[in-house]
Structure 1
């Protein structure tokens, strides 16, 4: 005997259709659900199949199983109508006006298949006008996926919500959990800490019961990013009670602002910007034959540019470094004639040091170096800046080394070099400072020498020499190796790597073209060379391409091109927040830099 099993895809759909027809005519309906005076005829069998609530209600032993009319008091007529339509048709009608009624009915009646549809609707229809309402609904009815997505939306669009009074009113209705997550977030674009603080105070005052959350909310305010005036007003206000621990954080921030020169070594969570991203800063040098005043930021991943700030002085042959995400610009040559025409302007070395704070976009002049220096090198060891050698007034060369103590804002002499030198490069590996190449006093030729300085021992030591004499070149530390790149007037384009452990140099893959007076910066494992000059038809010609050296695979790659020739610049990576971004533009808009 054989058997045949067949399946009809349309049968279950037709059954639902017939049930809906029966309901519409009131045929065979054995129960009426009454809500707010509205009566809804239905079939117990289908209700029991679709809802755990009705399945339990219509057990043989319950009173409701025999009743023909059942009054439901918790849900609304709108919510029940939508859920009944879903039970009979599998279609759920939703709008923002009926969303909460529908969710309330689905949850109370335990029609669980309807809840994911509501969650998906919330995610797909969240916008500026309803995102706060959606967050509250998602939290109230445990729509976890929707809650996560809406929190992301609010974080990314908070700056727009704060621009409109109507939307700000919606923000004041926001639930406590979302507000706490908002204050804990590191990703809130285009919103200053001052705006966040203003919102927080309004939100707490809007409903006094929220003061229970004040402590955890204030613990996530970045007080170091608020002005002194704001901090003092916050400390003395009485509308929102502050715990002793929160007052202690405010006092700490006030002290932080009271000693501005120390700020780079006092950085912590409370003074770090939200939504930071690393930008390569191009500082000083020349473009189109003129000294550059603008400091530009370059995002190597998106190839976008932005205007960051203006230098306090036009400069070349200077040094830069970063400590605690503050940019220092040291020494160099500045024009005596402000007209900035290099062909007719006398350039003088300086000892001036400026520091740039990207959080407030402010420059501050710190204590100047003891010597005027140009074509020197600088390094950071244990949060101290070392300024080494270089050229002073009337072309005199320095053997001196001086150290900047951030905590005291003072420069002091360190162990001198055994020779006078300028045009050397420097790098740091395991807190040991290395210098290479350059030109000695009275000698016109570049040298191959390498020296190291151990701060703990306080002595300079000669190391294995490079294989190539270099001057005006650059060094970079990547992992456990130090790389040297091209200098001025080198006959070849070779680069080499130094192994500090074995005191040994190795030649690597050369560049395909010569390059000097470029900017250099390390991003992850790649060394980027920006702009510079090259030889063309026996003349120095400025270039405007950016090339990258992959230190792991020993290979070169052209990244992109500048829209203008740029040389003599210095580069560093600085974490910038888009809340203080003045403008972000494509590189073509910077062709007229002055």
Structure 2
């Protein structure tokens, strides 16, 4: 017969202890509801609640202090708490006995206030989770105010993220118009507000001022200073000059005059006072992934897009020109197809897709024909780096902004690079790997766009070309490619703070000529070639899991495709 562990039998497990405690408190609550052994009555706005001091003191710090620290209430049988809603107080008293409470959108704000007042930390944590999940355009400013009031960073972060993503809808609420000037300034100065154009910020500010024009006209210049008037369209500025908020404010009129001068006399911009000329960029905004062109002859003008929320590919308007191995850039929700090849010659041509009108239109040509280049967008400027002109690999760099109406030369890279990849961190363009006729590189070059100087970066862990690169959470990811002897499934990450590369989980397939993009804090690898055949599949990576899984395959493309992510319009988001 096996020996009996008498000591173990005599020891109560955690589960047994928890069960005993739960049963005891259930019995306390039954006794309370029957009115037995109660020694305290709490009065709130005409309603009375019987309870036991010992249970309240054990569960709620506020009552613990009241009943154990020699206060007068410790000797009383009745106390008044008329400053709180009676129904909410009843819920909290029940919580003291049961540990459970039903939170709703109607009671959450009052319960949070009472939980904070009574220092019930566990209940505050429950309220945090609930508030983070129910942010909406109708309550967002109340949620944010509550977070600030109690210096609760979790609530502040959740509310701030929702507000960044949904500024357009939130700014059209009555609550926005009632905000104080400090809050409006704090919101409108945020560089990460998701707007389709700065006109949406201007419209919100004008509506806020006009909501109480008499009281707010003196505050108008302060609020208007956060609108980036240099990137508001000239016609919008002209139209706004008739708005009462501008007509009645001399300082605002001066701001608008300066902005219109900036637009109409561009050669004098260098002597004008500094103005913010960069669009806002929300890093949290989800996007739609567009795949276009490709190596297959029947797909070189085809376009399709992947909606991560719908989890499907949908065909879109074809490009005007059939092209392959071209650069892609997204600027203000417009998709640029740059240069490329038809298999025989290289192009200078550029066309852009307007997602709002579902049309392609021509843009100014590149200075030089090129394919297999690296592209990046920094501070509203598109950069095209290196590539191949049909004879040689290129080191030259071109840049474009719509208001320039032409491409301009920028300092060349230190060495020619074809089939490299580019990523952006902190207003720096990282050009990674690539090749020329003689070698495949593991080297990295970095362009600081503020001083237009190239410098060497930390080398890749191995040489590679025809790979994908993108930036997520201030880290650079590279995936796939070709190292001169084999096609790659490896994925590496560059940590800017540590200034080093390190590997993460490999993809499920080897992929050269692969595209890598990010949206909604996930990585997507699109298409490619595995050394034997073209690939139409995609893979998705979640950094929190360090794991790749397959997504739905493209319908119109296989092999190497050009890919860009167009952010969802600010008028549609609500998450």
Q: Which TM bucket (shorter chain)? A: 0.5 to 0.7
Distance 1:183 1:387 in 2: 39
Per-residue Cα deviation, 1:444-489 (whole angstroms, up to 9, x for no partner): xxxxxxxxxxxxxxxxxxxxxxxxxxxxxx765785755258xxxx
The reply to whether residue 548 of structure 1 matches residue 512 of structure 2 is: yes
Distance 2:32 2:407 in 1: 90
The reply to whether residue 560 of structure 1 matches residue 536 of structure 2 is: yes
The partner residue of 1:579 within 547, 569, 572 is 569
Distance 2:257 2:305 in 1: 32
Distance 1:6 1:375 in 2: 76
1:108 paired residue number: 117
The reply to whether residue 194 of structure 1 matches residue 199 of structure 2 is: yes
The reply to whether residue 74 of structure 1 matches residue 83 of structure 2 is: yes
Instruction: Flag the 1:308–1:85 CA change in 2: closer, same or farther, 3 A.
Output: same
The reply to whether residue 231 of structure 1 matches residue 237 of structure 2 is: yes
Distance 2:189 2:331 in 1: 23
Distance 1:500 1:510 in 2: 9
1:271 paired residue number: 279
Per-residue Cα deviation, 1:80-120 (whole angstroms, up to 9, x for no partner): 21111112222223322222332333233333332222223
Distance 2:313 2:563 in 1: 14
Instruction: Flag the 1:204–1:73 CA change in 2: closer, same or farther, 3 A.
Output: farther
Instruction: Flag the 1:112–1:550 CA change in 2: closer, same or farther, 3 A.
Output: closer
Q: What are structure 1's unaligned runs of at least 5 residues? A: 334-348, 392-400, 415-427, 435-473, 486-494, 502-507, 512-519, 530-545, 583-594
What's the secondary structure of 2:75's corresponding residue? coil
Instruction: Flag the 1:247–1:67 CA change in 2: closer, same or farther, 3 A.
Output: farther
What's the secondary structure of 1:184's corresponding residue? coil
Judge conservation of contact 2:193–2:281 (CA < 8 Å) in 1. Answer: no
Distance 1:378 1:106 in 2: 58
Distance 1:580 1:104 in 2: 32
The within-5 A match list for 1:232-381 is: 232-234=238-240, 237-239=243-245, 251-252=258-259, 255-256=262-263, 270-271=278-279, 274=282, 275=285, 282=292, 288=298, 292=301, 314=321, 327=336, 356=352, 363=361, 366=364
Distance 1:323 1:62 in 2: 66
The within-5 A match list for 1:438-457 is: none
1:343 paired residue number: none
Judge conservation of contact 2:433–2:442 (CA < 8 Å) in 1. Answer: yes
Judge conservation of contact 1:295–1:308 (CA < 8 Å) in 2. Answer: yes
What's the secondary structure of 1:64's corresponding residue? helix
Judge conservation of contact 1:308–1:581 (CA < 8 Å) in 2. Answer: no
The partner residue of 2:435 within 462, 483, 486 is 483
Instruction: Flag the 1:5–1:366 CA change in 2: closer, same or farther, 3 A.
Output: closer
Instruction: Flag the 1:135–1:366 CA change in 2: closer, same or farther, 3 A.
Output: same
1:145 paired residue number: 154
Judge conservation of contact 1:429–1:480 (CA < 8 Å) in 2. Answer: no
Distance 1:528 1:576 in 2: 24
Tell me by how many angstroms 1:76 deviates.
1.9
Distance 2:222 2:56 in 1: 46
2:413 paired residue number: 430
2:490 paired residue number: none
Judge conservation of contact 2:434–2:440 (CA < 8 Å) in 1. Answer: yes
2:39 paired residue number: 30
- Structure with the greater alpha carbon radius of gyration: 1
Judge conservation of contact 2:29–2:97 (CA < 8 Å) in 1. Answer: yes
Distance 1:305 1:246 in 2: 48
Distance 2:33 2:61 in 1: 24
Distance 2:336 2:65 in 1: 69
Per-residue Cα deviation, 1:419-441 (whole angstroms, up to 9, x for no partner): xxxxxxxxx9625668xxxxxxx
The partner residue of 1:43 within 52, 58, 62 is 52
What's the secondary structure of 2:245's corresponding residue? coil
The partner residue of 2:440 within 477, 481, 497 is 497
Aligned-pair Cα RMSD in Å: 6.3
Judge conservation of contact 1:75–1:108 (CA < 8 Å) in 2. Answer: no
1:83 paired residue number: 92
Instruction: Flag the 1:194–1:127 CA change in 2: closer, same or farther, 3 A.
Output: same
Tell me by how many angstroms 1:60 deviates.
6.6
Distance 2:191 2:400 in 1: 34
What's the secondary structure of 2:62's corresponding residue? helix
What's the secondary structure of 2:113's corresponding residue? helix
Distance 2:76 2:371 in 1: 95
Judge conservation of contact 1:224–1:271 (CA < 8 Å) in 2. Answer: no
* TM-score normalized with structure 1 length: 0.53
User: For this pair of structures, how many residues does the alignment match?
Assistant: 446
Judge conservation of contact 1:330–1:353 (CA < 8 Å) in 2. Answer: yes
Judge conservation of contact 2:374–2:385 (CA < 8 Å) in 1. Answer: yes
Tell me by how many angstroms 1:23 deviates.
2.7
The reply to whether residue 117 of structure 1 matches residue 126 of structure 2 is: yes
Tell me by how many angstroms 1:180 deviates.
3.7
245-254 or 39-48: bigger deviation: 245-254
Q: What are structure 2's unaligned runs of at least 5 residues? A: 1-5, 376-381, 423-430, 445-461, 471-477, 483-509, 516-528, 538-553
